[in-house]
Amino acid sequence: MSTSSVSSNDPFRSLLKQIWWVVLLRGILAVLFGVVALVWPGITVWALVVVFAAYAIIDGIVLVVQSIRDKPEGWGWWLAMGVVSVLAGLVALFWPGITALALLYVIAFYAILFGITGIVGGVRFRKVPESGWVWSVLAGVVAVLFGIVLLIFPGEGILSLIVLLGIYAILFGVLLVILAFQARSAAKKAGVI
C-alpha cells in the first residue's frame, strides 16, 4: 500500500468525509467577511462589531455542532475552537458600544487563541498522509501573528483595524479553502467520498 494515501484502517479516513465541507464553509465565510471589511472600510465601529460577531458566532456554532454530532478525531480541538469563536462573537454582540480599543483587544485575543488551537490541531495530524496539516498550522500562525500585531500597535486606529482584519480574513479564508479541497481530494483517493 502506498504511503501517500490514507489507509482504510486510518481514523483520519472518516474525518476527511466529515470535515472537508465545514472547513470550506469556514473559509468562504472568512473571505466574504474580509471582502466586506475591505470594500466598506468606512463602516461604523458598530457595524464592524455586528459583522464580526455574526461571523464569529456562525463559525463557532458550525464547529461546535460538527464536533458534537460527528465526534471526529481531535473533536475536542474543534469544540474548543467553536467555543472560543462563539464567546468572542457574544462579547462583541452584547457590548456593541465598546470602544474601538476594546474591540481591537477582543479581536486580537480571539485571533491568538483561535490560531493556537489551529496550530495544535494541525500538528496533531502531521503524521497523517495527505491531511493538509501544514495549511492548518500556517493558518494558525497567520492568526497568531495578526493578533500579536494588533496588541503591539493598538493605537493605529479603527480604520487600520478594519483593513488589517479584512486582509487577515481573506488570507485565513483562502488557506482554509485550500485545506478543504486538499482534505476532499484525500477523501476521494481513500474512497470515502
Alpha-carbon Rg for the chain in angstroms: 17
| pLDDT reading at 18 higher than 90 | no
Specify the length of the chain in residues.
193
**What are the tens digits of pLDDT across the range 37-91?**
888 876 656 777 788 889 899 999 988 998 898 787 778 888 998 999 999 899 8
* φ, ψ at 153 (rounded to 5°): -120, 60
**What are the tens digits of pLDDT across the range 148-159?**
988 888 766 667
User: Helix or strand or coil: residue 190?
Assistant: coil
Distance between CA atoms of residues 52 and 39, nearest Å? 15
The predicted structure's pLDDT at residue 165? 83
The predicted structure's pLDDT at residue 4? 46
Q: What is the 3-state secondary structure (H, E, C) of 89-106?
A: HHHHHHCCCCCHHHHHHH
**What are the tens digits of pLDDT across the range 126-175?**
887 777 788 889 989 999 998 998 888 876 666 777 888 889 899 989 99
Tell me the residue ranges of DSSP E strands in the chain.
Answer: none
Distance between CA atoms of residues 193 and 176, nearest Å? 19
DSSP state of 9: T
pTM: 0.57
Q: Which of 68, 91, 90 is nearest to 78 (CA)?
A: 68
